[in-house]
Chain A
């Protein structure tokens, strides 16, 4: 049976087809105008969901990037401060050696001591440096209050031992600084295991030339006294028990509980040294000690001997301090490196995500323009055929 076509249907269908063409046209036009392929989730739910997932990845990546930038900024500031602190220590060391040259007068040494005191203040200024936004670099997380103050014999620390961490990746974070207590304090005195001090009443020129640890396991953490009398020495422990004794000659090496001491000079009877476990000190106290050492009178043999022992210990302590700063700087360098690498990895991820998003969402302009052209053509054809079809009627021939 052939399908009869009613006149009203012919008209209705023609209109519907025109409507549909115009809907398609509107859609293409909207896509071109907004540059978006998908207008709502219903257009392609799975693509839309993928797009939202990438959006979230992108947002997270940008957060990590921003964190990495913040960490880089703070770590660079810290690195600069540590480099300066290192310079200060090197200068202190230089001045200490210069002052130890025998030919200097007391006035000259006094001037050097003043410079060293000024360096101590410079070190204090470094320790109290801020990040330009009111947060102190070396205050841990109490970074709104001045962390360090000089109390006359050492540093008072007002910060805490906490560091802030910033996330630079999934389950990956880096510290954006180091607590001041860990940077400027916790320096070990002497050779880092033990410290030797000359008794203040020493009158002979005997002094420590070298102190080193040859077997750390032998040292029991005790305090030992080395006393000279009659050209020989005795080593006694805290309970005055004799540990070792022998004849003394300049250059003699004493071995006490794993510690090797090379002594030089001539002892007077009753001269003594104390070998004690290394103590903790801060860098300001160390520099101040060096200043006092440089400034101390060196007129008698005893004073010179005490000073020489002091210088030997101070040099070792300065070395320790420099090593300590280098270690911290190395740590900062590693974190800088990590932050930079994370930054570039994150950039790569961002670019990748952007391009994936573009694939999902952006309209292909060339394709959409071609489609628009095609739809325009189709609409024109539909309009033309509609008028032609509607213009046909048998009644036109009934005259």
Chain B
């Protein structure tokens, strides 16, 4: 009887606990990170007698979370990968949008510039076509500057978000360390798992892994140790170590991640932080360097061609664009006073990477930052004889000390300082500088082509030269000397060369003179208009137009790839999430069924007590008679 009562009471107590847990599940059906809980029931040991063992009822052993630690670990790595790709894809899409955009991109301004140069070739004397060329050049340089500033903004945003992310990581690691301590205490107090704290810690670990890739090691005291990068501690038991931020070695404004005094930027992978660092390296830096190289190429080739023509004043063309300069930053550890001016010697050799310039006390060396390979350098570094290598012309000012280092970024910021150097429309050098004229009395059949300028820097280039033939095979220059003439071979004087076709007669004269002012020639304008499709970059294999297409297509490809990888990672993460939900999620229908089941069990147990009571009453009545 007493057994009957105690068995019934044990059922009531156990099912009460089960019903509580089920209600808790129902209440937390929409709580993020909540794991379904189950009460583990066990039969109590029975009491033996000659008639066999009578069971002692039921007892609730513990309340258990249903979790799978392996799924949890996968969720963390999935979250890291997803968050990284989300950031990467976000930046890639923005750069792609910026460069692909018909209004903001470079396609239209670039085409408009060459259209204007072509219009100038049609009507070289017109001030309005000249004005239009300057206008389109200004639009072009403004487009370059706009894109540069947008990319600079992205770079600044990366820095800003890095700062915020590191702060969030530090907050999370402190909370995790705190939870480690409370969980250990919770276990110690009742010898039972503090389920809600465990859920909370899992959730924080998952959050932490969206910020940065981590590895976790559960300890025997049920705390979890967290490591980042290649083993730098974030959480050790109840101790959290904060990540720090520091300016990079060159003080370039970029942030390095520091853990325990060591720079670990290059070891960070995954998570928002990894995504930000990768976005800078894979998206923003290449786009800026390529954009800058395009700007340098345009300025350099247009200026070089412009210098070969003469303007409306009859003077040789000056710079059309202000030539962009590269940037160099001295390392904070430098002891010398040297600064490096970064110019360009040969655009066709120019790459898109950064370099490090080092001084060992006697010689300079240039190292490709990406590959670590040395670049051959010539020259001494003076402005007359700059250090020349990789298409760069480096000028050292001040005095360098042994061990000094400089980061050279040839084109990263170049697009921002592309400007139009010409304001006066008449200063556009549309005409070829020299004229050949055959004397009207010439009796031979020779006719002269336009003299070709080979060396615009020749001081006597624009001097008038008279070529007088003393016979079909010999000529004099300015009435002096006697030179052999071979038909088809150009005559070269003063930095120009002249090709004659036909056969000259004795006494025939050709005068080569400067084009002079107010000239309606279009030779140089035509050459300017054709620059867009002339091989320039990468050893002359890629034209300005092609380089611009490559810039857009590279960023488009990066965005497409990042997007595809993000989609793939999303699917993987979804699958893992579904698996976790399958193990840990609350299904209300299931809980409703449980509710019914355990309510019935509870009612049955109550009925057992009632039966015990009836049995007891029956006994009392029998005894009372």
Contact = CB atoms under 8 A, between A and B. Distances in A.
Nearest to B112: A59
B596 A67 contact: no
Nearest to A8: B30
B162 interface: no
B587 A4 contact: yes
B437 A40 contact: no
Contacts, number: 188
Interface string B132-143: 000000000000
Contact of B96 (A42, A166, A282): A42
B489 to A, nearest CB: 21
Nearest to B564: A42
B436 A394 contact: no
A165 B522 contact: yes
Contacts of B587: 4-7
| Chain A interface SS verdict (over half) | mixed
A164 interface: yes
A66 B119 contact: yes
B125 A4 contact: no
Nearest to B530: A167
B100 A48 contact: yes
B327 interface: no
Nearest to B555: A41
Interface string A49-60: 100110110011
A160 B437 contact: yes
Contacts of A60: 533
Nearest to B442: A280
Interface in B584-609: 584-590, 592-593, 595-596
A63 B118 CA distance: 7
A282 B595 CA distance: 119
B553 A48 contact: yes
A9 interface: yes
Interface stretch (A79-87, A119-127, A138-146, A322-330): A138-146
B97 A40 contact: yes
Interface in A148-185: 157, 160-162, 164-167, 173, 181, 185
Contact of A161 (B107, B435, B549, B586): B435
Contacts of B582: 3-6
A9 B588 contact: no
A41 B586 contact: no
B114 A63 contact: yes
Interface string B561-586: 00100000000000001110111111
B553 A144 contact: no
A97 B552 CA distance: 74
A384 interface: no
A45 B556 contact: yes
A145 B530 CA distance: 29
B589 A393 contact: yes
A140 B435 CA distance: 11
A160 B521 CA distance: 10
Given A67-B118, A393-B592, 4 more contacts: A6-B586, A42-B563, A45-B560, A157-B440
User: What are the 5 tightest A-B residue pairs by CB atom distance, in nearest-first order?
Assistant: A6-B585, A41-B556, A42-B559, A141-B521, A394-B592
Interface of B: 29-30, 36, 92-93, 96-97, 99-101, 107, 111, 114-115, 118-119, 121-126, 431-432, 435-438, 440-443, 448, 450, 515-516, 518-523, 526, 529-530, 532-533, 545, 548-549, 552-553, 555-557, 559-560, 563, 577-579, 581-590, 592-593, 595-596
17 contacts: A3-B582, A4-B585, A5-B585, A8-B29, A8-B585, A8-B586, A9-B585, A40-B101, A42-B92, A44-B560, A49-B552, A49-B553, A63-B114, A135-B520, A167-B118, A395-B588, A398-B592
